[in-house]
Amino acid sequence: MQDFSKGAAWMDGRIMPVAEAKIPVTHWGYRRSDVTYDVVGVWEGNFFRLDDHIRRFRASMARLRMDPGQSDDDIRDILHRVVAASGLRSAYVAMDCLRSVPPPGAARHPAHVPAYLICMALPWAWVAPPEMIARGVHLMIPQVRRIPPESFDPRVKNFHWGDLTEGQFEAEAAGADFAILLDADGNVTEGPGFNIFCIRDGRVVTPDRGALEGITRASVFELCGELGITVEIRPLPADEFRAADEIFAATTAGGIMPASRIDGRIMGNDRPGPLSMQIHDRFWKKRAEGWHATPVDYAPG
């Protein structure tokens, strides 16, 4: 009897316990971080914006000239199968595409290296746990700067986390939860695994470049439209960000994450701001009502 208690994976055409899904240490996905990925959340038995995540994953693969051989319908079916195998009702569901190694006799050039697909469903894990969201996340701006878009397109989801990792060590040293990295011009980009927003005079402002075009970010735009809140997508200088009335983040594995501190400055009453919480509450209310939901097919197959 296979043990799927820690999650399930699809690799080489078969489903297996996630602990059995392994790649050779010689593969370029490991040695060169020659990989792109996407993550779709399952909450209470429903994928959230599944087609949007697959569409972004396909765009990332195309940008990196990767074709694993599976169609979008194939990927959709595989994701249903790994969640069903895991039995998880709430899950972190990843789809990775990575390059292997050049075949014998081929040049050591990425054009000759086959790409392949790995999918997995893991137990849900919060970027910021509920108790942290309740008190508001604590943010800081580190010295390290974000990898510039001219070096690597941040709209392609990737594992090039050297700058974000360094930022998180700086945040830890400063007693903060998360680092928010600036670009070379001193404008806000993103945090480790999430988009960032601030609220100024009732308007929501978010960076226009240097960050992943998040699926939850798109959801924030929809919610603001419903609530009659103006959204500005533009450069966001660090000083304006630090002086904001409210700040919140958005990510698949956390939804809307309001902040209560930035660089030691306490915002409001050291709790999430009212407009941030209005967006947060509406997000989860609509999720419970089936907003952008695709029920997982748990039937054997």
Query: Which amino acid is present at 165?
Result: T
Task: For CATH 3.20.10.10, list the domain ranges present in the chain.
Answer: 130-288
Kindly report, residue by residue over 180-221, the tens digit of the pLDDT: 999 999 999 999 999 999 999 999 999 999 999 999 999 999
H runs (alpha helix) in the chain: 28-31, 50-63, 72-86, 130-135, 162-174, 215-227, 238-242, 274-288
Q: Model confidence over 246-262: pLDDT tens digits? A: 999 999 999 999 999 99
Q: Is residue 123 predicted with pLDDT exceeding 80? A: yes
If pLDDT is split at 50, 70 and 90, which confidence band does 301 have? low
Q: In this model, does residue 299 exceed pLDDT 90? A: no
Whether the Cβ atoms of residue 9 and residue 119 lie closer than 8 Å to each other: yes
What percent of the chain has pLDDT above 90? 97
Predicted TM-score of the model (pTM)? 0.96
Candidates 3.40.1160.10, 3.40.50.10490, 3.30.470.10, 2.60.40.1080; CATH matching 8-123: 3.30.470.10
| pLDDT of the residue at 215 | 98
Burial code of 213-234, b = ≥16 C-beta within 10 A, e = fewer?
ebbbbbbbeebbeeeebeeeee
- Mean pLDDT within 72-97: 98
Residue extent(s) of CATH 3.30.470.10 domains in the chain: 8-123
For 130-288, CATH number out of 3.40.50.450, 3.90.650.10, 3.20.10.10, 3.40.220.10 equals: 3.20.10.10
